[in-house]
Amino acid sequence: AECELLLRSCAQVAVTVGELVLLIGGRRMRPGPRSGVVVVNCRTLQVSAAVLASDSEDPPPRFRHAACKIAPAVPGGLERVLVLGGVSLSSTANRVYRSSEALVLELLDDDGSTVRWRTRRLEGDAPAEGAPLFHHVLCSFERGWRVLAWGGDTMDFDYDSTADFNRARRECAERSAYAFVLDVRTWQWRRQPLGGPEPGHRSLAEGVVYDDQLVILGGTSDPKPLRPFEFGELASMNPHVLDLRSWTWLPGPRDSGRDIPEPRTRFAVERRGKWLLGYGGRDAVGQMLGDVFLLDLGARTWCKPAVLGHGHVLGAAACCSTMCGGAVLGGLSFNVIIPKADALLFVAPPVKAVEPSLEEELAEGLWRGQK
């Protein structure tokens, strides 16, 4: 029962540190742990709530935020987690967090049982000049010493107000021409101009780093206000790739394959080697999706995995889940927050007369629902 309560969440952010999956923030049907961190141990399959250290700050949980793993504070130490932007879930203050400050999470035990939060003031050219930031992409690179923020939103607005919508769209379009790079050693932002064929603005997109490249998928090409169940035009799931050495968007392949997923927001992804796994989300008319998709990050082509089994009985289709450690965790299904914990496993394909390709082997996925 306690495990189900801890996993019954949506819109959380997941970060892997060693054998631990850290679920940070998100919405819940009941108040979550005071630390705002749920720990899933992938080795022991135990789920627990992290406890705050006596000298930790006590920030309220948030959603619409982003997080990534960063380098340890000392050589040989445990990796830390950087949390940027989002909206407070405090009942007393509906605060939208600015890009000029971040939370840093430190693990004080190898099992993640005790954690410490610290607020970091960030200097330099922050995204949108330090304005509130949400729905953005946040990824670390260079062994966790640098962090890239791109896209997302900075203001609330009403779609019925043409002036407000156009103002938000102009701001987002101008900002999409830059990446914002944070040096973790100095806590300084740098605004980096980008070249090449730009994808344009994205809100609620997903991004992963592979081979010194940032790969962006999905989301909306219109700005997205803070209110739920409102979204503009959805962007294609064609991958857009930013070279992190030349800071240039690379031309995409002429054909990403016939198995390209339909446009969506609030889907879950995880990189496994050169492959990106994805699940679920919400389509252009607000319907929940339950498909599994697979992208070859090197070739930037899609293939459709053969999926066996099914997801959680309460939510085979869901949005606002996270995928981390080979599992889909939490989510929203038909407006119900579900305690989802579905493991996606790879199995060897049947022996064939002709030796299968690597793509065929990886496409033989096994989807097992675990309550």
Within-domain flag for 93: no
Pairwise CA distance, residues 227 & 245, whole Å: 37
Structure tokens at 277: 């796994």
Within-domain flag for 57: no
Report the amino acid identity of residue 176.
S
Cα Rg of the chain, angstroms:
20
Within-domain flag for 85: no
Within-domain flag for 299: yes
Return the closest-CA partner of residue 200 out of 159, 164, 232, 246: 232
What strands, in cross-sheet order, belong to the sheet with 137-141? Answer: 123-124, 188-193, 178-183, 146-150, 137-141
Return the closest-CA partner of residue 105 out of 63, 68, 75: 68
pLDDT at 3 over 80: yes
Pairwise CA distance, residues 304 & 293, whole Å: 6
What is the reported pLDDT for 333? 87
Residue 78 phi, psi (nearest 5): -80, 145
pLDDT at 23 over 80: yes
- Confidence band (pLDDT; 50, 70, 90) for 184? very high
- Confidence band (pLDDT; 50, 70, 90) for 41? very high
DSSP E strands: which ranges in 314-370?
Answer: 322-324, 327-329, 332-333, 336-337, 341-346, 365-370
Cβ neighbours, 10 Å, residue 22: 23
Domain region containing 271: 258-371
Average pLDDT rounded to a whole number, residues 94-99: 90
By three-state DSSP, how is residue 205 classified? Answer: coil
Within-domain flag for 108: no
Average pLDDT rounded to a whole number, residues 302-328: 81
Q: What's the total number of domains in the chain?
A: 1
Within-domain flag for 40: no
Which residues, at least 6 apart from 73, have a Cβ–Cβ distance to it below 8 Å? 80, 106
Percent of the chain with pLDDT over 70: 88
What is the domain-level CATH number for residue 301? 2.120.10.80
Pairwise CA distance, residues 356 & 349, whole Å: 8
Within-domain flag for 286: yes
- Write the pLDDT tens digit of every residue in 192-231: 999 999 999 999 999 999 999 999 999 999 999 988 766 6
- Write the pLDDT tens digit of every residue in 82-92: 999 999 987 66
pLDDT at 146 over 50: yes
What is the reported pLDDT for 369? 41
Query: How many CA atoms lie within 13 Å of 102's alpha carbon, on the beta-carbon side?
Result: 25
Within-domain flag for 150: no
